[in-house]
Structure 1
Amino acid sequence: MALSVAPGATAAPASRRSPLLRYLRHPGFLIGTILLLALLAVAAAAPWLAPYSPLETDLGNTLAPASAAHPFGTDQFGRDVLSRLIWGTRISLQVAVAVMALSLTLGMAVGAVAGFFGGWVERVTVSVIDILLAFPGFLLALALVAARGSSLESVIVAVALAYTPRVAAVMRAVVLTIKPRTYVEASRALGMGNLRLLFLHVVPNSLPPVIVVATVGAATAILAEAGLSFLGLGVQPPTPTWGNVISDGQSFLASNPMISLSAGLCIAVTVVALNLLGDGLRDTLDPQMRRSSGRML
């Protein structure tokens, strides 16, 4: 006698596996994740991976070309470029993570309050966001760093504040689409207060698009840190950062281009990895994108 299997018996395990399968089937997400994990491993193992100290100078071996002892050569002070790049990975990832955390926290709070409560709170918030968005993010960060002084903490705070209006604008837009939904109105009818509605229903359902924006913001933070350091307003020498390495090599592009090119390649790989991760998160977290990809398959 044939045994019939209830439809829900296999649907539950499949539904539990489906989010992981969506990520694994997305090539951009996989490539971005692998590259970021490799960069994190390099940053964590910098004391053991770097062949020399990033601050060790050798004035008898300045601007040396690539060799077995110095794969990327040396700079004008005889410092090993590869070692400085490896240690610079720590600074760049630290800036990316800190800026993403700060901009997410501030932007989500401002955008959620403005979109949920509306009224004069929303009008004032939108006006401030529009004013801040009128300035290019890098110029705003440049002004904030100039006001606070050049340091790693100043760079993190300045870039986070410059990118917060973008997160707040996206958060407000998402909250405005979630607030009138049926389950929110039903919870309100059952007597749930505004704060509980905001934190239990509205904010959790607003996370996917905001996280994608914050991921792209992490790439922007790395570019901003490198630009500020290149201009001498970021992390100050001799601390090894990718922006400082590019600045060190700009005067020697004709004789030893590997100094600046190697740091630029590190920045490019990291930014591409974060953008691929953001694209993968967008495609896998957005229900409409999942449905369209499912139809194509």
Structure 2
Amino acid sequence: MNKTIDFSKPVIALAPLAGYTDLPFRSVVKNFGVDYTVSEMISSNALAYNSEKTKKMLEKSPNEDPFFIQLAGNKTEILIAAIEKLNEIDGIAGIDLNCGCPAPKVFNHGSGSNLLGDLPRLQSMLRTIKKYSNKQYTTCKVRIGVDEKIPIDIAKAIEDCGIDFIAVHGRTKKGAYKAAVDYDAIAAIKQNINIPVIANGDITDLEKAKYVLEHTKADGIMVGRGAIGKPWVFHQISSNNETISNELKKEIIIEHLQKMIMHYNEYGVVMFRKHLHTYSKGYDGANNFRDKVNTITDSKEMLELINQFF
């Protein structure tokens, strides 16, 4: 039986980020007080049509519990086929509908944040998940509008579908990742609906996490880009302590590399380069280090370089 989420204290979650929050990364942050994790966004199309790459994305680490699969889609019949595949897999606590992705290829396909411009269609997708899924939770992650902010309309439409909780990124689709996050809009959603609300958007450190919880009165926070290059942010938030030793940082970086190699074999070394680019931010000699990183394909060599640099 999957663990349930305890909303009696603020919940801390890892946001799904394509290309970053894969199994190795999620298994690393899960040790730092993250209450639940979510897969990278999975196309219901790819899942329905048995893509091998997609199947690999459904795998979870043994420590990930509760674990959610995030689906993107816009057609009920394809969504049903995808849900039926997930119904056969144990260890998934819930299905999360992506209603926030601003990427043009997702938006133009009618998925992600496109659904915010057509609330009846968004509702029909959520009701489909609710009806056909055998998982404990049905949730969704939203933004606060496409071009205009309509946070309360969106939240009420979603609550009407009987879903369990909602994660809100406080920007519109148009705001992409640059506009200021509207924490007032998240606070308004919290005041107007009766299901738990998780606040998301620009939460980068302990101080910001406290501010967002206080300001929005949300039931939890979800950290995405703020954890890339510093997964220990979850340790800081959950332990309410800003300090983190260099030893612990280094240990985490090495563990992350090892998990990448376990999951992707030697290619994990190449895939880990982008993580080392962010891990090395702010260190002396970071540029030189990145140049070296970009040529390494051997795991032993990579480990040696990490040990020297950090």
Larger radius of gyration: 1
Q: TM-score, normalised by structure 1?
A: 0.25
Higher helix share: 1
Higher strand share: 2
- The higher-RCO structure (CA 8 Å, 6+ apart) is 1
Q: TM-score, normalised by structure 2?
A: 0.24
